[in-house]
Chains A and B, each alone.
Chain A
Amino acid sequence: MKINLSRFFAVFASAVLLLSSLFYQQVSAQSSANAPRAFAITNARIVTTSGADIERGTIIVRDGLIVAVGAGNLQVPVDVRVIDANGLTVYPGIIDASASTGIPAPRPTQQAGGGGQNIAQFLQQQQQAQQQAQAQSNSTYPAGLLPEIAAADLIRTSDSSIETARNSGFTTVLVVPRERIFQGQSALINLSGETAGEAIVRAPVALHLTFVPLQVGQFPTSLMGSFAAVRQMFLDAQQLQEAQRNYEKNPRGTRRPDSNKSLEALFPYLSRQTPGQAPIVFQANTEREIGRVLNFAREFNLKAIIAGGAESGRFAEQLKAQDIPVLLSLNFPRRTSSTSPEADPESMSVLRARAEAPKTAARLAAAGVRFAFQSGGMANYTDFWANAGRAVQAGLARPAAIRAMTLGSAEIFGVADRMGSIEPGKIANLTVVRGDIFDRARTVTHVFVDGRMYEIPAAAPTTTGGGGANAAAAQAIAGKWNLTIQLGGQTVQATVTLTTQRNQLAGQFESTLGAAPISQGEISAEGFRFVVKLNVGEQVDAVFAGRITGENQMTGTVTAPQGTTSFTGTKTP
């Protein structure tokens, strides 16, 4: 098969570009640095998570900590700034139990779009990247097998992803580096502070492990190779630890064991003779992935946490019995593709997995498994709330859902003594919400992080990646277009006149197949879409989906119940 990856890379690179463009957005809602950091939030509904909800109460925050919480007429100090939270609900700061927030996404190494990149260049870049990673860590292991990589070293407080997450209602994130296999060691950070040191609550929290292979001609290139590589490293770490201990006991007369940064990074996670064994977070979603990592954890007597956990409900009893927590992804699978009679129906396994995903949380809760919600790489944080809501609909109690993004997470990360609930003495991380937190219509009005107040602008972006439709796209599409539609080897000519209003598209379609106004027209960054009702013996909805490909050029597909065909269009000047 002929391989042409240029298109793939073009798409990939443009996605990365979009991400990095967020970098430069500087929308700050934070007060100036010397503003007093003492607040009273009054008349609020308070969900403490540690105790009963307070229907109407006050929270006093001072110098980064919660100093008082109470119902009704709590004494408000005279020197604090009062925020009337009438009609608002205050939750403990929401924790995202896994994301790469604050770690800049890799940037494309060359300008994409030319389509000139080939496999060789790609491999070369990969090798360079690996060599760089190696040089940085001074390890003999390739990138991917460097457990010493630490989120704490990689976090950049200027990264726009921090603000996006905070605007979406998060105060705290368990930040995981972006590597594969050994992803590295995570750090729990508050989404505030000038320096990483200021932001970090606890680091390292855990070592994160996926078994996704390297795939660039370097061991391991296969899933089974990944298991072998990781297994060998654990064995080597065990051996090195023992050798170093024996050497320390009696250094004279024996050659000292080599120092090895990568293996030594594993020491805290080994079971043997390690007091306070640190946890390893295994990325595993399907039943078989979870089964595998549980076996692996047992093989080395590791303290395991499951991340992802889509099918972890099937292991609920075992997870409960072995006290293995789950960082459950709320990035529930969902069909994102359009439909066409030319496409195959999706497989039952895919359909079932999507329908089952929201039920997992309730299963874990019913069995008493500790779990926390994570964003799981979702494209838009609004899914976090909406999907938590779906989990509630699927049987998860509301308090349990709240707990899974607050106190429950804090417990798993060993910080429940300082955050996760609204109690005096705890870190003043608060998320203030108007409306039902699980409802799409809810808005986050304020976020307090380490006692700093952030007022959330109404239209703050919540997308973690791509952007929306822009004015240029709307302008490019408006006008009269001559379309050539393919129909079984014949062509049909048509014209369509399009007008735009924001992201809406309206207009008239005319051809030998008939004339009709267009309906359901929409524009986005990815393209446009509209429907034409045609009478071809029977009434059919022809769905036009396409994109602008150049100056006055468009291309796309028309889908009707009979099949899908392509069309091209030229704009008449």
Chain B
Amino acid sequence: MSSKFKVQGSKLIFALLLLTAHCSLLTVSAQLSPPSQQNQNGQAGTFLIRNARIVTVSGAPVETGSLLIQNGRIAAVGANVNAPAGAETIDGSGLMVFPGMIDAATNMGLMEIPLGAPGTDDDAEVGDMNPNARAIVGVNPHLTHIPVTRVNGTTTVLTMPQGGIVSGQAAIINLVGSTQGEMAVNPAFALVIDFPRVAGGFGGGFGGGFGGQTPNFEEAIRTRDQRLTDLRRMLKDAEAYGKAHDAYAQNKTLPRPKTDLRLAALVPFVRGEKPVIMIANREIDIRNAVRFADDNKLKMILMGGNDAWRAADLLKQRNVPVIITGIWSLPAREDDAYDVLFENASKLQRAGVRFAVASGDEGANARDLPYQAGMTAAFGLTPDEALKSVTLYPAQILGIADRMGSLEVGKVANVVVADGDILDPRTHIRHLFINGRKMPLNTKHTELFDQFKDRKLPASQ
């Protein structure tokens, strides 16, 4: 993609991509693709789910009601909805209907097998500054993780590059489609910055012997400061770059500015037109990140946020939303309360900070998102709030609440029909709709299950 394209602003790109996404969806369904292929992309149509408990999330649940899916959208929700001609009716007796869950932090599609198969890993580019690395380009639509995740009720994810300081641009995708374009909800939603910090990772080392060989404190401070300086310089350069290109576009007699892919990619972010996701976990880093975003006029979303509850005052004051990814992390300090991360969400909620719960998973275990959210309700959130933390709240933070996150007429029909509470690990998903398409519930796992479930010892043995 040319840099010029980006400078023109995100809205146009978005509209274009959305358009192509819709076109290609239509073409795919019109074509006669091989059955399995068609199967994995679901089946378009008009569907009426009847006699079910409709958990709209945005409003009160409809205890016994219907939900109509038509033209990819939710066409009607209520106690009495008539089936249009040609609608496939689904008996929802004893079932519950939920909006598809949204996982606001994954590397979905970018990495299939972390160990021993580097050819499947496209999550981290070389170098520290990769604002032009776009997750949407690396997403493999045919990765096993995608069906495995959606059959547990997650229909939309934020997928992002990782590593370095500026990791790249995160995309919002629906978990269906044969091409990246078909999957894209917002192909370039936000810039991901792994906010420079002093804290080390896991440590580790050689044979346990020299384990924990971390840089010393002074060195860590210096490295952090250097990285901050590099980051700030690059943002300032991008600001100047945008200004020069705009000026030149207005007045061709000016000296023609040079083209730079990285700086061009940064322009909408340094102008505050598009959000910047800052990953930070410790209180001091969170506060530093908020200050840094203020100084550089970035539209910040905090991701990670293990200590966010400790900085709730500032996050509330600056209206910085938090994508919590550490519900199932271990407390970093020996003396932390055992439930410090389980309670993070409820403390933020009480403090009035906007938040969402996300898996933070590379992909394989992103299907655990509902249970992570559920656990926050064992530690202070109400179950309703816990459900919102993986539906409406992430939709709001990701700027797609007009289309997703609740069961409302006109929204994209990402709909999950289950035999119980969607946050409960015992619950079975019975029907799944993404973009209004009725999705198959088979995955690599169900296929292996089918292959081996009835296997017997060979007669000769």
Contact = CB atoms under 8 A, between A and B. Distances in A.
A and B, one complex? yes
Interface of A: 1, 3, 5, 7-8, 119, 215-217, 221-222, 340-345, 347-349, 486, 488-491, 545, 555-557, 563-566
B295 A3 contact: no
A29 B74 CA distance: 97
A563 B225 contact: no
Contact of B334 (A1, A7, A347): A347
A222 B211 CA distance: 12
Contact of A566 (B205, B225, B231, B296): B225
Contacts of A7: 216
Contacts of B218: 545, 555-557, 566
Contacts of B333: 344-345, 347
Contacts, number: 84
| Residue with the greatest number of chain B CB neighbours at <10 A, chosen from A7, A340, A342 | A342
B221 A349 contact: no
B119 interface: no
Contacts of B295: 488-490
Contact of A342 (B209, B228, B284, B291): B284
Interface string B221-262: 110111011011100000000000000000000000000000
6 contacts: A342-B284, A486-B226, A488-B291, A555-B222, A564-B221, A565-B225
B228 A221 contact: no
B451 interface: no
A215 B228 contact: no
A486 B229 contact: yes
B198 interface: yes
Nearest to B225: A486
Contact of A343 (B209, B217, B332): B217
Interface in B300-348: 332-335
Nearest to B288: A488
A566 B206 contact: no
Contacts of A555: 218, 222
B288 A221 contact: no
A252 B9 CA distance: 100
Contacts of B2: none
Q: How many interface residues does chain B have, given as a range?
A: 35 or more
A215 B288 contact: no
A348 B221 CA distance: 25
B335 A348 contact: yes
A216 B203 CA distance: 19
Interface in B267-317: 284, 288, 291-292, 295-296
A170 to B, nearest CB: 34
B213 interface: yes
Contacts of B207: 215, 217, 221
Given A221-B207, A342-B221, A347-B333, A488 B292 contact: yes
B116 interface: no
Contact of B208 (A222, A489, A545): A222
B296 to A, nearest CB: 8
Given A3-B206, A3-B210, A563-B284, A348 B334 contact: yes
A555 B333 CA distance: 30
Given A3-B210, A215-B208, A564-B221, A489 B228 contact: yes
B425 interface: no
Contacts of B202: 1
A488 B205 CA distance: 30
Nearest to B296: A489
Contacts of B84: none
Cβ-closest 4 pairs across A and B: A489-B232, A486-B225, A215-B209, A489-B228
B399 interface: no
A216 B218 CA distance: 29
Contacts of B208: 215, 221-222
Contacts of B210: 3, 5, 8
A216 B332 CA distance: 30
B45 interface: no
B204 interface: yes
Contacts of A340: 217
B228 to A, nearest CB: 4
Given A1-B205, A119-B206, A490 B221 contact: no
B288 A563 contact: yes
Nearest to A344: B333
A87 B353 CA distance: 71
A553 B201 CA distance: 31
A565 B221 contact: yes
B232 A490 contact: yes
A490 B231 CA distance: 10
Given A119-B206, A489-B232, A555-B222, A342 B213 contact: no
Contacts of B224: 566
A557 B221 contact: yes
Contact of B231 (A1, A221, A489, A565): A489
Contacts of B216: 7
Contacts of B229: 486, 489-491
Contacts of A5: 210, 213
Contacts of A221: 207-209
B311 to A, nearest CB: 13
A312 B334 CA distance: 24
Contacts of B213: 3, 5, 8
A1 B206 CA distance: 9
B292 A489 contact: yes
Nearest to A485: B225
A347 B331 CA distance: 13
Contacts of A3: 205-206, 210, 213
